[in-house]
Amino acid sequence: MSALHALSTAPVAHAGLDLARIRADFPILRQRVHGKPLVYLDNAASAQRPKAVIDAISECYSTYYANIHRGVHLLSERSTAAYEGAREKVRAFLNAASVQEIIFTRSTTESINLVASSFGGSMVKAGDEIVITGMEHHSNIVPWQLLCERTGATLKVVPFTDAGELILEEYERLLDSGRVKLVAVVHLSNALGTINPVKFMIELAHARGIPVLVDGAQSVPHLAVDVRVLDCEFYAFSSHKLYGPSGVGVLYGKQALLEAMPPYQGGGDMIRLVTFEKTEYADLPNKFEAGTPNIAGVIGLGAALDWLNAIGLDAVAAHEHELLDYATALLQQIPGLSIMGTARDKAALAAFTLQGVHPHDIGTILDREGVAIRAGHHCAQPVMQRYGVPATARASFAVYNTRDEVDALVKALWKVKELFE
């Protein structure tokens, strides 16, 4: 363990980040688990919420909550202003051209299902192809499988190397079939940490007239995203990985496409006029937001974006990159530990196996040491099949994590190894 102590003398945070202040924003991090200080390293599943988000939700419910739109009383007007103000914050965060391009959903999963059902259902037919990659989350696989079953289209999969990097030559070969109607690609893999070259992939697809959806669930907490620079047709992400509430998702879509797409669900707030003979739909973004939404959750997402913008994504990314490098160096010193996913462009997480120990046993023992990680297939079973493993253990990082917490992780893993020797 001497190497651990030697490496621990390095700086504890990226220059410009006040980690003590940042951590103080998160009440949940102050607790002890099984008598040990909580080390929360399950951020790829869900990040924690700063007090600013908790307060924003509490204020909404305590002082001005009411159903949004159409109400003429003060509480409804305040709720509507806060809700639509959050939409503008999301627009600015993504640098979308208009708030009409920002659709609120329940999750990344629902955002992708919306595109598969509405855009895919109106554009895809028998004999067509949809291209995804081998490292997709189930949420960017199953909706397209369902679409293919309904339409007779075929799903094509871009393979990746042992290091966890897409084989772009194979991607180009798939695009050249002349039958591809959509590409759907993950920006940052939740199972490997790979940052895919989505801008280049979008350019290759557009050269052939093919639209692209990007699954940004893992990328938005760690990377600056500009949808106009990427030029993707659709971009989807979730609030709960971005320090915001659960139950809120976002779909960005180019306005012309969204206007041409049929509604995903029918009901209140997505209509302009309803008679028993016909229905006229509301303008964007309301056309895709049927029913009463998660009002306080969306307002909480807006507060999360304010909080994150005040820190700066560049500083966040630099800090997390240092943590990942530090953790990788220490993990590689544990005999029998193998890191899955060693792409040159990688962020935020380390997934690994330990010879002779099931990942669930790793997770259970680490929990007794106060260290929270994720163990399982991470809703990416094809990735596990690619490496011939049933599951991995995954430590994933956020802006509030520290080198001391990486040390606690590694110390606990040495304990796991000793217990199974």
Amino acid at 151: T
Q: Taking a C-beta distance cutoff of 8 angstroms, is the pair 379, 138 a contact?
A: yes
Residues above pLDDT 70, as percent of the chain = 96
| Residue in this structure with the two tokens 């909480």, named with its chain if needed | 300
d(CA 389, CA 199): 31
What was the pLDDT predicted at 4?
40
pLDDT tens digits for range 144-199: 999 999 999 999 999 999 999 999 999 999 999 999 999 999 999 999 999 999 99
Per-residue pLDDT, 156: 98
- For 321-349, the pLDDT digits (tens) are 999 999 999 999 999 999 999 999 999 99
Judge whether residue 356 has pLDDT over 50. Answer: yes
Per-residue pLDDT tens over the stretch 282-292: 999 999 999 99
In the DSSP assignment, the letter for residue 389 is: -
Q: Which of the residues 60, 148, 232, 379 is marked catalytic? A: 379
Give the pLDDT of residue 71: 85
Enumerate the domain spans of the chain.
Answer: 2-50+312-420, 53-310
pLDDT digits (tens, 9 = 90+) for 68-84: 998 899 999 999 999 99
Contact present, 148 and 131 (Cβ < 8 Å):
no
177: left (phi over 0), alpha (psi -120 to 50) or beta: alpha
Residue 10 has pLDDT above 70, yes or no: no
Q: Place 1 in a pLDDT band, splitting at 50, 70 and 90.
A: very low
Mean pLDDT of 205-215: 98
pLDDT at 203 over 70: yes
What whole-number distance in Å separates Cα of residue 75 and Cα of residue 218? 35
174, amino acid identity: L
Rounded distance between C-alpha atoms, residue 23 and residue 29, angstroms = 7
What is the rounded distance in angstroms from the CA atom of residue 59 to the CA atom of residue 296?
Answer: 9
Confidence of residue 11 (pLDDT cuts 50, 70, 90): very low
pLDDT at 5: 34
| CATH numeric code, 53-310 | 3.40.640.10
Residue 379 among the catalytic residues:
yes
Can you give the pLDDT at residue 14? 52
Residues 6+ apart with CB under 8 A from 312: 16
Give per-residue pLDDT as tens, 363-386.
999 999 999 999 999 999 999 999
pLDDT for residue 70:
83
Please provide the CATH number assigned to the domain covering 2-50+312-420: 3.90.1150.10
Q: What is the pLDDT of residues 25-75, one digit of tens each?
A: 999 999 999 999 999 999 999 999 999 999 999 999 999 999 999 889 999
pLDDT mean over 246-263: 97
pLDDT in tens, 262-303: 999 999 889 999 999 999 999 999 999 999 999 999 999 999
The whole-number pLDDT of residue 15 equals 53
Environment class of 76 (CB within 10 Å of its CB; exposed 0-12, middle 13-18, buried 19+): middle
Nearest to 419 by CA among 367, 339, 362, 374: 362
Residue 212 has pLDDT above 90, yes or no: yes
Return the sign of the alpha-carbon dihedral for residues 385, 387, 390, 394: negative
CA dihedral 305, 308, 311, 315 (to 10 degrees): -120
Q: Which residues are within 8 A (CB) of 403 and not within 5 positions of it... i.e. 6 or more apart?
A: 8, 10, 12, 323, 326
pTM for this entry: 0.95
